[in-house]
Chains A and B, each alone.
Chain A
Amino acid sequence: MATSVVELQDLHKIYDIGGERVAALDGIDLVIEEREMVAIVGASGSGKSTLMNVVGCLDRPTSGKYLLSGNDAGSFSDNRLSDTRGRYIGFVFQSYNLLPQLTAAQNIELPLRYNPRNFDRKQAVEEALARVGLSDRANHRPNQLSGGQQQRVGIARALVGQPALLLADEPTGNLDSRSTEEIIGLLQELNSQDGMTVVMVTHEPEVSAATRRIVTLRDGKILTDEKIDQRVFSGYERSEEPAEVLR
Chain B
Amino acid sequence: MSPGMILSTAFSSIAASKLRSSLTLLGVVIGVTSVIALMAIGRGAQESITSRISAQGAELLFISVDFASDDAQDLTYDDVTAIATSPNAHDIESVAASLSAGNAEISLGATALTTTATGVTPEYFEVNGYDLASGRSLSPVDLISRSDVVVLGSNLATNLFPGQEATGQEFSINGRLFLVAGVLEPVGGFTRVDDQVFLPLTTAESRLDSNAAPGDTINVSQILVKAIDADSIEAAADQADVAIRLEHGLSFNESPDFTISNSAGIAETLEETTDVLVIFLGVVGGISLVVGGIGIMNIMLVSVTERTREIGIRRAIGARRAAVLLQFLTEATVLSIGGGLLGLAAGAVITKQFSGVQFLNTTFDAEMSVDIALLAMIVAGGIGLVAGLYPAARAASLDPIEALRHE
Q: Name A's B-contacting residues (CB within 8 A).
A: 53, 56, 58-59, 78-79, 82-83, 85-87, 91, 93, 97-99, 101-102, 110-111, 113-116, 157, 161
Q: How far is the CB of A144 from chain B (nearest CB, A)?
A: 15
B320 and A56 contact, CB distance less than 8 A: no
Show 8 A/B contacts (Cβ-Cβ < 8 Å), sorted by A: A56-B316, A82-B321, A97-B312, A97-B313, A101-B13, A110-B317, A114-B314, A115-B318
A97 to B320, CA, bound (A): 18
Do the beta carbons of A110 and B314 come within 8 Å of each other?
A: yes
Check B319–A114 contact: CB distance below 8 A. Answer: yes
B316 with A99: CB separation less than 8 A: no
> B12 interface residue, CB < 8 Å from A?
yes
Is the Cβ of B323 less than 8 Å from the Cβ of A99?
Answer: no
Chain A positions within 8 Å of B312 at CB level: 97
Which residues on B are within 8 Å of A, measured CB to CB? Answer: 1-2, 5, 9, 12-13, 15-16, 309-310, 312-323, 400-401, 404
The answer to whether B309 and A53 have CB atoms under 8 Å apart is no
The secondary-structure label for the interface of chain B is helix
Known: A101-B16, A113-B1. A58 touches B401 (CB 8 A): yes
Chain A residue nearest in CB terms to B407: A95
Total A-B pairs in contact (CB under 8 Å)? Answer: 63
Asked if residues B320 and A82 are in contact (CB atoms below 8 Å), the reply is yes
Complex alpha-carbon distance, A116 and B9, angstroms: 15
On chain A, the residues within 8 Å of B319 by CB distance are 82, 86, 114
Residue on B with the closest CB to A106? B12
The reply to whether B310 and A114 form a contact with Cβ atoms under 8 Å apart is no
Query: Contact between B314 and A85 (Cβ–Cβ < 8 Å)?
Result: no
**A78-B321, A82-B321, A97-B404 given; 20 more Cβ-contact pairs under 8 Å:** A58-B316, A59-B401, A78-B320, A82-B315, A82-B318, A82-B319, A82-B323, A85-B316, A86-B318, A93-B404, A97-B309, A97-B313, A97-B316, A98-B313, A101-B12, A101-B13, A101-B16, A113-B1, A113-B9, A114-B323
Cα–Cα, bound, A175→B1 (Å): 34
Partner of B313, one of A82, A99, A116, A161: A99
B317 adjacent to A86 (CB under 8 Å)? yes
In the bound assembly, the distance between CA atoms of A85 and B322 in angstroms comes to 15
Compute how far the CA of A161 lies from the CA of B15 in the bound complex, rounded to whole angstroms: 28
Bound state CA distance, A65 and B123, in angstroms?
103
Q: Is the CB of B12 within 8 A of A114?
A: no
Min CB–CB distance A110 → chain B (angstroms): 6
Residues B317 and A111 in contact, CB atoms below 8 Å apart: yes
Q: Which residue of chain A has the shortest Cβ distance to B2 in the bound complex?
A: A116
Chain B nearest CB from A98 CB (Å) reads 8
Nearest Cβ in chain A — how far from B9, in angstroms? 8
Are B401 and A83 in contact (CB-based, < 8 A)?
no
CB <8 Å contact, B317 and A58: no
How many whole Å from B7's CB to the nearest CB in chain A? 12
Q: Across the interface, name the chain B residue whose C-beta is closest to A50.
A: B401
Chain A residues, CB < 8 A from B318: 82-83, 85-87, 111, 114-115, 161
Q: Are B401 and A79 in contact (CB under 8 A)?
A: no
CB neighbours (8 Å) of B1 from chain A are 113-114
Contact B320 A83 (CB under 8 A): yes
Contacts known (A78-B320, A82-B320, A101-B12); A113 close to B313, Cβ less than 8 A: no
CB proximity of B354 to chain A, nearest CB, Å: 42
Tell me the bound Cα distance from A102 to B9 in angstroms: 10
Given contacts A78-B321, A83-B320, contact A113 B404 (CB under 8 A): no
Residues of A within 8 A of B316 (CB): 56, 58, 85, 91, 97
Q: Complex: how many Å from CA A97 to CA B316?
A: 10
- Chain B residue with the shortest CB-CB distance to A98: B313
Nearest-Cβ distance from residue A247 to partner chain B, whole angstroms: 15
Known contacts A97-B309, A99-B310, A101-B12: does B317 contact A157 (CB below 8 Å)?
A: yes
Determine how close the nearest CB of chain B comes to the CB of A11; give it in whole angstroms: 16
Query: A93 CA to B299 CA in the complex, in Å?
Result: 29
Q: Which residues does chain A contribute within 8 Å of B315, judged by CB atoms?
A: 58, 82, 85
CA separation between A56 and B338, bound complex, in Å? 39
The answer for the CA separation of A97 and B318 in the assembled complex, in Å, is 14
Cβ–Cβ < 8 Å partners of A161 in chain B: 318
- Distance between Cα atoms of A102 and B309 in the complex (Å): 14
Q: A114 touching B309 by the CB < 8 A rule?
A: no
| A87 and B317 alpha carbons, distance in the complex (Å) | 8
